[in-house]
Structure 1
């Protein structure tokens, strides 16, 4: 195992810590051994995840004691260490079935030092995008009305400085000239390929585009400017051609958790697939994040609400409708975007681009900038991540629940028409829409009210018991 010595400056205090690093590609033929199976959604993979009562490093003993497996990685969620491995396919081993658990897993389950083990299934996760290019910076430059009032927040002195945003996607071109100054290349990670290089493979540009909308550098005569142009970006590659596992999602959503402020997610189950949500380890990662992330203030999980249109319903997306995430949808000029879905979890909207009026502009791979054809909630969510970063800069003590309250309090209908149904007024006298939530985000109000915001009470969970007395 390798560690990097990392020195971090927090509130004027230098902290020295060790960060576990995956083996580099080529070491011990590691990347040649670890192979991802191409299986269908919901089928068994060749990956396992387990916990152990042993406290010593599994890289020192696991492969030797259990030669039918290859160790992959380990990660922590709270105080629980999860270890991932691959079932080794030898010449004499029966071909793995994708429809039933491998017999070796049951043997591992019977080991006294293995607390819990599961053969992982694959889950298809897609970037929430429709097209691949943008047009211009109208969402920031005042060309349209109403605006997101980002310029007003910049004028007040906020730029995202000191805020760390992890971009979970198909990769991030770390050397892009309009992003590089804001990219943390020490703590980034490629969970999909099990290494430390989040740069995308050829043909994948979604994560680089998302990152530009959040944190492209300002006033450098290159491409665009991100909403939080002084923030720190961490690339977390999780998406690729093949499906991913529960453990991989959980690892991504808890990566560098003690330091990451916002996790920006523009991905999820394919639109129109029914009721699909996070599995057990990912649910644990969410709970751990809001409980202990940001030194107890709670990690902020921003999520794109989906592009299935009003014939689809994002209530069926368990990532979007989680109480721990902030679901963001899109508007086009004058109304909800034509691709925006219907659901109660959609908390607010930003501009996401639309073929019916204007597309967006952002960074793309090959150190380029593109501005033709991009639309989707994939691009509304990172804009919201940038807005939340400005609010956290204004008041770093805001909790995850404070951010949700602030978004509701400061977002407004702003004259947008709901193409699905009428706006409704709730008991708190706030207008809301089944497609646009509480309306367009207002960056100026987020930082202004956020600066003096009184922290809301901690989340309270109530349970009750039920009984079924016998009849007669």
Structure 2
């Protein structure tokens, strides 16, 4: 009905005003105390618009600035001079409100806004006094060593929330740890350590003139170097415990040594960090043997009281000549494969790319800056600025995961993978070869960097309220086992239509990992290229050209190429595999098998649960508080109003 007030009745309007007052009051409390300024916004009666400048001068303001939006002029009257008295604004406001030309007056309180992308280390609330901390750009990047400011692991936010890795044990599976190092000794977990190279409980590195066995000690410092002891730098999780598992320093590796190392004390060790794998020569196709596979499976199913051991793996240092999907450790579903970026966001020259990489951390800078390496502990009580490679990247990730485990000790091994997908950031990472793309559910990924650089602050915040993901299921989506010829100059295209086991107990509706188990032989294995496209249109590069791989006999025998790029997608529909050759010479081959394996959940792991809860929690908590305040305010006001009317 025309002419009726929007709130219906006079009492309704009064209640609405009371509600608005309560809202404004609450908003002010939530934002903190405002800064008093002399900035005032005034709305004039239409007949007084031409008098705006005169009105400003009369009331002691310098000028009028009309806003470029809104209905009718809304003059902004800046102060004539800087504020001198706290009560100057109220007096001016009172005089303005009494002016017959003025409809309303609104003061402009000041509040804080900060520039993003640049951070001054001296202005951050990071109380670290260790001498190399200012050089640990991967922790807090302010542009040191020609780096890109803000491109780091965002550990400062996690530390600021009180998470430092306390109560978490990380095992460094390597060539030993200098556990007498003064920056490691206080955090060393002797009970969880062992030397499988010498079969004793003392995994101290074997001495060599070239310090070849410094690798494990450097990795350990990245994770658990103590804080504020005036020695070297600080670990990502500087209150975590570090265990040494010496297993690399012998003339050869055996399945039993690997299996024993990976399964050592799984109820005490939370995270296993491995910066090793098959030879990164661009020719090798290798992975864990039978006992190690059994140990890994046992770890993810029974470790940490059934929550699962967390295996962190460096993706490899073979550069563009290699493909980390040919490394069966890095491409395992049971590991979290970590690649590296340099301090300006570009790819390192040694980075391998593949579709199984989940996320990235940092290694050294590409420029010859002596401080562009990873600063950490070194043998015999020394420090170094020259640690590098994906060897450096994996321990950094282990440290971030330790922070997340402190925030929520109930996280499972799969929870940690989901958190990595959801909280990793593109930030300022730049891949000159592979573009950033979005998969079928909108998750952004890159063929080299995975889902981006780990964000410690984001991960601990999401971890704190995380709900364990639903049960995991496995579905053999389909298999093609006929021989199909592959010729240079063309591409073999095969399809599998699947319902993802719908209607069965092992139905997979939301994807986690996808495996393409492939048997293929070629006249030159290194020239093979394999791509796979999901029903939702996401293309994964399962195998890139490896120019140094001259194999013409072995090929790939039931090799499980893995992709994480279809995470969260609906797998039902048509999957397409394309196989061809890339290279200067003509090649031929035969694909004998393609079996599609789907792994994931039947119910939404977080689309309907965690993500929505996480994104809205703060807003919802404020809303609930606001609703309580409003209820109380309305009740008080209504009682007061009724008592006066009576």
Length-normalised TM-score, structure 1: 0.69
Q: How does 1:445-460 map to 2 (within 5 A)?
A: 445-460=458-473
Aligned-pair CA distance for 1:374? 2.7
Q: Assess if the C-alpha contact under 8 Å between 1:134 and 1:360 holds in 2.
A: no
Q: Secondary structure, in 3 states, of the residue corresponding to 1:277?
A: coil
Structure 1 residue runs of 4 or more that deviate by more than 6 Å after TM superposition: 464-469
Which protein is bigger by CA-based radius of gyration?
A: 2
Q: How does 1:141-160 map to 2 (within 5 A)?
A: 141-143=140-142, 144-160=149-165
Q: Assess if the C-alpha contact under 8 Å between 2:138 and 2:151 holds in 1.
A: no
How far apart, in 2, do the equivalents of 1:366 and 1:295 lie? 36
How far apart, in 1, do the equivalents of 2:134 and 2:228 lie? 19
Indicate yes or no: 2:284 matched with 1:283: no
Q: 1:247 to 1:156 in 2, by over 3 A?
A: same
Q: Secondary structure, in 3 states, of the residue corresponding to 1:336?
A: coil
Q: Assess if the C-alpha contact under 8 Å between 2:219 and 2:395 holds in 1.
A: yes
Which residue, 316, 320, 326 being the options, matches 1:306? 316
Aligned-pair CA distance for 1:467? 11
Q: 1:321 to 1:350 in 2, by over 3 A?
A: same
Aligned to 1:334: 345
Aligned-pair CA distance for 1:227? 0.5
Q: Assess if the C-alpha contact under 8 Å between 1:354 and 1:376 holds in 2.
A: no
Q: How does 1:345-424 map to 2 (within 5 A)?
A: 345-356=356-367, 358-371=372-385, 373-424=386-437
Q: Secondary structure, in 3 states, of the residue corresponding to 2:219?
A: helix
Alignment RMSD: 2.0
How far apart, in 1, do the equivalents of 2:348 and 2:265 lie? 34
Q: Assess if the C-alpha contact under 8 Å between 1:135 and 1:359 holds in 2.
A: no
How far apart, in 2, do the equivalents of 1:385 and 1:343 lie? 20
Indicate yes or no: 2:202 matched with 1:197: yes
Q: Assess if the C-alpha contact under 8 Å between 1:228 and 1:386 holds in 2.
A: yes
Consecutive unaligned residues of structure 2, counting only runs of 5 or more, are 1-131, 143-148, 483-646
How far apart, in 1, do the equivalents of 2:481 and 2:163 lie? 57
Q: Secondary structure, in 3 states, of the residue corresponding to 1:140?
A: coil
Q: Assess if the C-alpha contact under 8 Å between 1:192 and 1:239 holds in 2.
A: yes
Q: Assess if the C-alpha contact under 8 Å between 1:354 and 1:374 holds in 2.
A: no
Q: Secondary structure, in 3 states, of the residue corresponding to 2:355?
A: coil
Which residue, 234, 238, 245 being the options, matches 2:243? 234
Q: Deviations over 1:371-392 (max 9, x none)?
A: 1x33200001100000000000
Aligned to 2:136: 137
Q: Deviations over 1:230-255 (max 9, x none)?
A: 11111000011511100110000000
How far apart, in 2, do the equivalents of 1:218 and 1:400 lie? 28
Consecutive unaligned residues of structure 1, counting only runs of 5 or more, are 1-132
How far apart, in 1, do the equivalents of 2:350 and 2:341 lie? 9
Q: Assess if the C-alpha contact under 8 Å between 1:134 and 1:359 holds in 2.
A: no
Q: Secondary structure, in 3 states, of the residue corresponding to 2:138?
A: helix
Q: Secondary structure, in 3 states, of the residue corresponding to 2:192?
A: coil
How far apart, in 2, do the equivalents of 1:467 and 1:231 lie? 48
Aligned-pair CA distance for 1:415? 2.5
How far apart, in 2, do the equivalents of 1:466 and 1:376 lie? 38
Which residue, 284, 289, 296 being the options, matches 2:306? 296
Q: Assess if the C-alpha contact under 8 Å between 1:328 and 1:381 holds in 2.
A: yes
